[in-house]
Amino acid sequence: MIEHAMTCQELVELITSYLDDALPADARQRFERHLAVCPGCAIYLEQMRMTLRLLGTLSAETIPATTQQELLAAFRGLRHMGESR
Amino acid sequence: MSDSENQQPRTTGASREADDVSGASTSGEAAGPASDLGLLEALRRGDEEAYLSLVSMHYAAMLRLALMYVGSRAVAEEVIQETWVGVLQGLDRFEGRSSLKTWIFRILLNRARTRAQRENRTIPFSALVTTTEPFEPTVEPDVFRSAEDQHPGSWITPPAAWDSLPEERLLSLETRQQIDQALTTLPAAQREVITLRDIDGWSANEVCDYLDISEANQRVLLHRARARVRRALAGYLAAG
Ligand SMILES: [Zn+2]
């Protein structure tokens, strides 16, 4: 082998760069080449993707109805003030 | 009331770039000028639907960020309320130097800091202080073969796949609580970055602009935060 192959330990530290498409082309190639032949790293990447998916679901936390009503009241109140100025 | 903001031609991303003083957003992705324009107009017009969708879209992230500063959910809700009042009062002064979202979250941060001071709470360090953190592995080194091994740096104990787990388990309330728990243990800067990127869906550029950190710094913080959450999840899901 001519070039140094990426190790698993190196790959896991590059996952965020990989997912942000921020790896230089040669590093990306080595990353993908490793991934293709290493089930452990493929699983790690999948776990990371699932982690991101689950984090994304936290944004769906719904706003309490009372908070929403108060925020709407503030919106209406301020608008009213603006109009009467 | 001044209408000067309305009369300025802001039809393209380029016009926004021109008055952008921040260096972090040179690629032009930091702000969403086109969508901001429509949204701004809707808010100024008093469009309640647009306002409420904006409010609920960012509610979860705002609540999480506010809770880093203040002691209770009730106070955090008040901070959110004060934020929106500040946003509405400042709409006419908004100049588009940053994206609307960034501007809104800066107001949130100011309100939260003010409340924290009033409550005599320690204000968490923001991302600024961590620029020169040394490299630390995010995966325990002992799961990899050592340098003396024939295949140094490869898995001794590869992670277990989650795809055999039932979807209901992965998406359960308990799993989400585990994530929440892991998030609260993160250092402040990591928590800010992961909340904005992965919960509120900001781009890397937007976060760099908002926190005034370099792209490399943003990535390190995000990477560590994600790795910690993944690890917590792996521990929880393996325990069955
Ligand atoms: Zn590997």
Q: How far away, in angstroms, is A15 Cα from ligand 1 center? A: 12
Q: Are A31 and A55 in contact (CB under 8 A)?
A: no
For the stretch B87-110, pLDDT in tens is 999 988 888 888 999 999 999 999
**Model pLDDT, residue B61:** 95
Classify residue A74 as left (phi > 0), alpha (psi -120 to 50) or beta: alpha
CATH number of domain containing B156: 1.10.10.10
Q: Are residues B141 and B228 in the same domain?
A: yes
Under an 8 A CB cutoff, do B144 and A8 touch? yes
Chain B touched by A85 (CB under 8 Å): yes
Residues from chain B that touch A73, judged by Cβ atoms under 8 A, are none
Top pLDDT among A30 and B19 is at A30
**Domains of chain A from N-terminus onward:** 8-83 (1.10.10)
Residues B135, B43 share a domain: no
Reported ipTM: the value is: 0.90
Return the pLDDT at B119: 84
3-state secondary structure chain B: CCCHHHHCCCCCHHHHHHCCCCHHHCCCCCCCHHHHHHHHHHHHHCCHHHHHHHHHHCHHHHHHHHHCCCCCHHHHHHHHHHHHHHHHHHHHHCCCCCCHHHHHHHHHHHHHHHHHHHCCCCCCCCHHHHCCCCCCCCCCHHHECCCCCCCCCCECCCCCCCCCCCHHHHCCHHHHHHHHHHHHCCCHHHHHHHHHHHHCCCCHHHHHHHHCCCHHHHHHHHHHHHHHHHHHHHHHHHCC
User: Do B132 and B222 belong to one domain?
Assistant: yes
Q: Say which DSSP state A62 is in.
A: P
Residue ranges with CB less than 5 Å from ion ligand 1: A 8, 38, 41
| pLDDT at residue B71 in the model | 87
Domain boundary among B125, B157, B179: B125
Q: Which domain holds residue B69?
A: 3-125
Q: Supply the mean pLDDT for chain B.
A: 83
Torsion over CA: B35, B41, B47, B51 (sign)? positive
Question: Tens-digit pLDDT profile for chain A (85 aa)?
Answer: 456 789 999 999 999 999 999 999 999 999 999 999 999 999 999 999 999 999 999 998 889 999 899 999 989 988 766 554 4
Cross-chain CB nearest to B226 (options A16, A58, A82):
A16
- Same domain (yes/no): B121, B131: no
Tokens 């790896």 locate to A23
Structure tokens at B200: 């509120």
Residues B43 and B64 in one domain: yes
Which one of B125, B145, B177 terminates a domain? B125
Same structural domain, B144 and B119: no
Query: How many angstroms separate the first and last alpha carbons of chain A?
Result: 76
B99 and B18, same domain (yes or no): yes
B65 burial (CB, 10 Å; 0-12 / 13-18 / 19+) is buried
Q: Say how far apart CA B183 and CA B173 lie, in whole Å.
A: 15
Q: How far apart are CA B79 and CA B110, in angstroms?
A: 9
**Closest CA–CA distance from residue B41 to any residue of chain A (Å):** 13
Residue-wise pLDDT for B43-53, tens only, equals 989 999 999 99
Please tell me which residue, B239 or B22, carries the higher pLDDT value.
Answer: B239
Q: Are residues B105 and B192 in the same domain?
A: no
Rounding to the nearest 10 degrees, give the CA dihedral for residues B199, A45, B176, B239. -160
Q: Is the pLDDT of residue B224 over 90?
A: yes
Q: How many CB atoms lie within 10 A of CB B74?
A: 9
pLDDT at B135: 78
Cα separation, B227 vs B138, in Å, equals: 6
Cβ-proximal residues to B221 (8 Å cutoff; 6+ apart), any chain? B127, B130, B189, B190, B193, B194, B213
The number of domains in chain B is 2
CB-CB neighbors (< 8 A) of B201 in chain A: 56, 59
Q: Which of A1, A4, A6, A9 should be substituted to probe chain B, the one whose Cβ sees the most B Cβ atoms within 10 Å?
A: A9
Whether B186 and B109 map to the same domain: the answer is: no
* Candidates B57, B139, B219; nearest CB to A22: B219
Whole-number percent of chain B with pLDDT over 90:
65
What's the pLDDT score for residue B50?
Answer: 94
Q: B125, B159, B184 — which closes off a domain?
A: B125
Question: pLDDT tens for residues B114-143?
Answer: 998 888 777 766 544 555 567 789 999 999
Contacts of B147 in chain A (CB under 8 A): none
- Pair B174, B180: CB distance under 8 Å: no
Q: Residue B180's closest CA among B67, B75, B78, B55?
A: B67
What is the CATH classification number for the domain harbouring B28? 1.10.1740.10
State pTM to two decimals.
Answer: 0.84
Residues 5-44, chain A, touching B (beta carbon < 8 A): 7-10, 12-13, 15-17, 20, 22, 38-41, 43-44
CA distance B84 to B89: 8
Distance CA B231, CA B239 (A): 12
